[in-house]
Amino acid sequence: MMEYTSLSLVIWLPVVFGVSLLILGKHVAAGTIRVLALVGAMLGLFVALPLWVNFDNLQPGFQFAEYHPWIDAFSINYHLGIDGISLLLILLNCVTTLIVVIAGWEVIRDRVPQYFASFLILSGIMNGVFCALDVALFYVFFEATLIPMFIIVGVWGGPNRVYAAVKFFLYTLAGSLLTLVAIIYLYQVSGGSFSLAQFYETPIRYDAQVLIFLAFFAAFAVKIPMWPVHTWLPDAHVEAPTGGSVVLAAVMLKLGGYGFIRLALPIVPDAARELAPWIIALSLIAVVYIGFVALVQKDMKKLIAYSSISHMGFVTLGIFIFNVQGMQGAIIQMISHGFISGALFLCVGILYDRLHSRQIADYGGVVNRMPIFASFFLLFAMANSGLPGTSGFVGEFLVIMGAAEVNIWFAVAAATTLILGASYTLWMYKRVVFGEVGNDKVAKLSDVNARETLLLIGLAAAVLWMGVYPKPFTDVLTQAVITSLDWASQTKI
Amino acid sequence: MVSFYSQFQLILPEIFLLTAVSAILVIDLFLPAAKRMATYWLTQGALLVTAVLVFLVTSTSAGSVVVFDGLVVIDELSGLLKILICILLSVGISYSRDYLAHRDIFKGEYFSLALFAALGMLVMVSANHLLTLYLGLELLSLSLYALVAFNRDSKDSSEAAIKYFVLGAIASGMLLYGMSMIYGSTGQLNIEQIVNAISAGNADMDLLRFGLVFVVVGVGFKLGAVPFHMWVPDVYQGAPTSVTLIIGSAPKLAAFAFVVRLLFETLGAATLQLDWSPMLAILAAASLILGNLVAIAQTNLKRMLAYSTISHMGFLVLGFMTGTQQGVSAALFYVVTYALMVVAGFGLMLLLSKRGFESDRLEDFRGLSRTHPWFAFLFLLIMFSMAGIPPMVGFWAKLFILQSIIEQGFVGLALLAVVFSLIGAFYYLRVIKLMYFDEPSASTVAEQRTGSLVMSVNGLLLLALGLAPSWLYSLCEEVIKSSVRLF
């Protein structure tokens, strides 16, 4: 069998670029640093594209596998491989990194090398999470993501950044430490291995399964985040710099959903099925209740953060109804939410850079001064409310269909999001963009520049592509979803 | 059987070190203050030559060799620990150079006492006899008492030294009392013969268990495990930082050997292990809880690191508690990496201090990333490593310990350890917050120092070992397998 190294490249190339930025930092002008960061992000995307081209949609199991022993004493291996789910998330991550680098181009003036380095390193580490087939390796990458994000929020964040950064770190660490204990327990019962494939096949007693599931739940529910452990997210989003918010919403939350699909369902399927009603209930609460919470927000970033939580409710709902539409919808929703929420945070960032306020009340009539911006913003707002023809619709539609198969009332409750989502997004849009020019500051606004337009065009293209022709995405996913559901439907007791 | 003369060959490192320290003591007397640097270089030379000698002796002797009628054992464990002790001391002294000079305590005593402490540690890790063990321990302790008090004009140092001496003496008394009971029960002081007596059923088990309790108390004192931790915060804070650095690093390795020799090699029989294992579990749990909780309330970095030491010792004791080979290997890995972190942490404080400025308050680290970006980055690595966040080596140290205790079925203890690591993460994060998220206050500016290169290697090693922990763990495992006679 041919030995691939493309996955290692996807992980380590951004990290190497990030580290070199840190080293060069003092000696090179900020302009050069920006160009280098851009080159790093573009190369990162460039090495990820062949994965998509060469990916075999029909082959079950993991592709592009790499395997090297790492810590022999505990048979921990550097074992990488991807299926369709990982592939899409990796692509999303690489695209987001590129966007973030461009978005931070002239906005970030303080500690430029460290800023770009943090994002590049974070991007590499998150690719590592999506590639890891060894659970110890997965855990290392999963935890390591905390360090750059902690720094990003804490250094370049808003006034209350310290509180937000520490809360983010401790909340997510609390969840993942419990997972660590579960992983070590699995190592013991699986006969001394951390291999994912081994974990999938290890029989586990039902009561142990429940505990392990709860441990996984602690990590991934906090990460994604689910109601009621979501409270760190609005804080982190509000305080993070624009780039931080984009990466957080677009990619980092997906680590949670990915963890559920990759670890929780296949390793402890019986417990997952047994506890699914609870998860579904929590997801529906997130969809409906958090939707209402989003409605009353006065801060745009907070509103989008709550909207993220509500959309992530769809993801967990889709995963835990255990059918193909549901899971496929959940994954499409994750990808689409990556583009849409990233775009929305970017839009808020564009406004914030000009007016230094995120309060809805400080705006009004932006369309009069920024017509181009307003049209893009409208597209993303519509996508966020799940308008057909945008990517937001596909995922939600699939999940609602899947839910209807299980229980029509799940579908009904989930479908309220189409009303709620439209209400909070469009109402915010109306208050910010439409109407007479709100105040003198708004009157002085200038429309988006070329750099910003480029970003918005790219994201708009992605949102529309996924909305109009999602087949390339679903094709990549189908086999992986079927395999995952096969694992999830076995019984291990 | 080793011939009479080749016995001396095996303890050549100790003989050399003793000769060297005596020579340095005398040479220093005749050196004018301006040429004191010679003492520094001689000390470094003595430590490095000793390390090389240890390496030569250990690599040429096969397996465990017991010499001098069972007083001393030369095995791979003692070899590894001795080399690490010498290196850690040498690194620590290199960090201390400017600190001492700026406080007018760049004196010969510091170096000769440090070398005597090293000698004590070397004797301890090679002990095969309760008296040798005690002799080494006392040589180490007495040198450390004097080192703590060595800044004569400082009231804090004197107070710390008195406290350390009184509590240390009580601990030694306890230990000696316990040893006397072991002797009373088995009639032996040689570790192998004690084991033989126990396994032959010639020991009075009740008396032995009674002695065991006192031995555990002594061990608890020396490690600084709760509830025998009272001396740790005061001594760490009161002693000059260059001395805290010595106390916090190399002696932990010696203490590791001390526990292994006493609890595993001497009193490791299955029935006794059933007795000491729960005792250690209680010590460990209490240390984890108290160390992590109290550390949060500290404003002094040295004191915070003292409480963090207590919690780390809790983790270490968890490894011992399992009584398995895997547990001890994990504990060895833990103590080695921990010593590296501590020496780096205190070393950084030394490098950042200047005349009249100790840089030992948390406040002093405010905005360090602006004034000293590289040092701040190294300190970030150290803090994340201590908190056990991957990819730093501290994560693996904790993982291996957790693995060994979960293997023995102590899932509850593992959860406790994990929960309190989370609480611990909070105060490490606070240091990072001060360095990275806050703006500098005027007082943090210090001049660049000698020892920065060693510091960089030391700090980056924590990351490098985190990325490639395999060889070190394999080494630890192999050393434990070949050296420790487990039951």
pLDDT tens sequence across A103-155: 888 777 788 888 888 999 999 999 999 999 999 999 999 999 998 999 888 88
Give pTM, 2 decimals: 0.90
Q: Which two tokens stand for residue B112?
A: 């000769």
Residue B219: which domain range?
4-483
Q: Please, which residues have CB within 8 angstroms of residue B471's CB and are 6 or more apart in sequence?
A: none
Stated length of chain B:
487
- pLDDT, residue B120, reads 95
- pLDDT, residue B486, reads 67
> Which residues of B make CB contacts under 8 Å with A?
373, 377, 384, 389-391, 395-396, 399-400, 402-403, 406-407, 411, 414-415, 418-419, 421-422, 425-426, 429-430, 432-433, 436-437, 469-470, 473-474, 477
Is the pLDDT score of A1 beyond 60?
no
pLDDT band of residue B371 (cuts 50, 70, 90) is confident
Report the alpha-carbon angle B220-B225-B226, nearest 5: 110
**Closest to B217 in 3D by CA, of B131, B293, B276:** B276
Is residue A69 classed as helix, strand or coil in its secondary structure?
strand
Question: A181 and B415 in contact by Cβ < 8 A?
Answer: yes
| Structural domains counted in chain B | 1
- Give mean pLDDT, residues A158-181: 87
**What integer best gives the mean pLDDT of chain A?**
87
- pLDDT, residue A446, reads 81
Phi, psi of A69 (to 5 degrees): -65, 145
**A23-32, A252-261, A392-401: range with lowest mean pLDDT:** A23-32
- pLDDT, residue A4, reads 67
Q: Which of A73, A147, A184 sits opposite B406 (nearest CB)?
A: A184
Looking at CA atoms only, how far is residue A273 from chain B in angstroms?
25
pLDDT band of residue B487 (cuts 50, 70, 90) is low
Is the pLDDT score of A2 beyond 80?
no
Give, for A76, the enclosing helix (H) or strand (E): strand A76-82
Q: Which two tokens stand for residue B216?
A: 């555990």
- pLDDT, residue B446, reads 56
Q: Which of B373, B403, B422 sits opposite A170 (nearest CB)?
A: B422
**Closest to B124 in 3D by CA, of B33, B256, B239:** B256
- Give mean pLDDT, residues A15-36: 84
Determine which of A150, A194, A211 to mutate to test the interface with B (most B C-beta atoms within 10 Å): A150
- pLDDT, residue B282, reads 92
pLDDT band of residue B50 (cuts 50, 70, 90) is very high
The tens digit of pLDDT for each residue in A292-306 reads 998 888 888 889 999
The tens digit of pLDDT for each residue in A233-277 reads 888 888 888 888 899 888 999 999 999 999 988 899 988 888 989
CB of A162 within 8 Å of a chain B CB? The answer is yes
Looking at CA atoms only, how far is residue A17 from chain B in angstroms?
18
* Chain B residue at shortest CA distance from A114: B373
Phi, psi of A293 (to 5 degrees): -60, -40
Q: Which two tokens stand for residue B206?
A: 């009740």
Percent of chain B with pLDDT over 90: 41
- pLDDT, residue A410, reads 86
The tens digit of pLDDT for each residue in B432-456 reads 888 888 888 765 555 556 678 888 8
Chains A and B: how many Cβ contacts under 8 Å? Answer: 86
* Chain A residue at shortest CA distance from B434: A162
CB of A73 within 8 Å of a chain B CB? The answer is yes
Rounded distance between C-alpha atoms, residue A483 and residue A490, angstroms: 11
Interface of A with B in 139-158 (CB under 8 A): 139-141, 143-144, 146-147, 150-151, 154-155
Question: A181 and B414 in contact by Cβ < 8 A?
Answer: yes
The tens digit of pLDDT for each residue in A334-378 reads 999 999 999 999 888 888 888 888 888 888 888 888 888 888 889
Is the pLDDT score of B134 beyond 90?
yes
Quickly count: other Cβ atoms within 10 Å of residue B64's Cβ.
16
- pLDDT, residue B357, reads 75
Percent of chain A with pLDDT over 90: 15
Query: How far is CA B447 from its chain centroid?
Result: 30
Question: A146 and B429 in contact by Cβ < 8 A?
Answer: no
Question: A184 and B429 in contact by Cβ < 8 A?
Answer: no
Is the pLDDT score of B87 beyond 90?
yes
Question: Which residues share a beta bridge with B127?
Answer: B72
Q: Are B482 and B402 in contact (CB under 8 A)?
A: no
Interface predicted TM-score (ipTM) of this complex, two decimals: 0.87
- Give mean pLDDT, residues A435-446: 78
* Chain B residue at shortest CA distance from A184: B403
Is residue B45 classed as helix, strand or coil in its secondary structure?
helix
Q: Are B362 and B301 in contact (CB under 8 A)?
A: yes
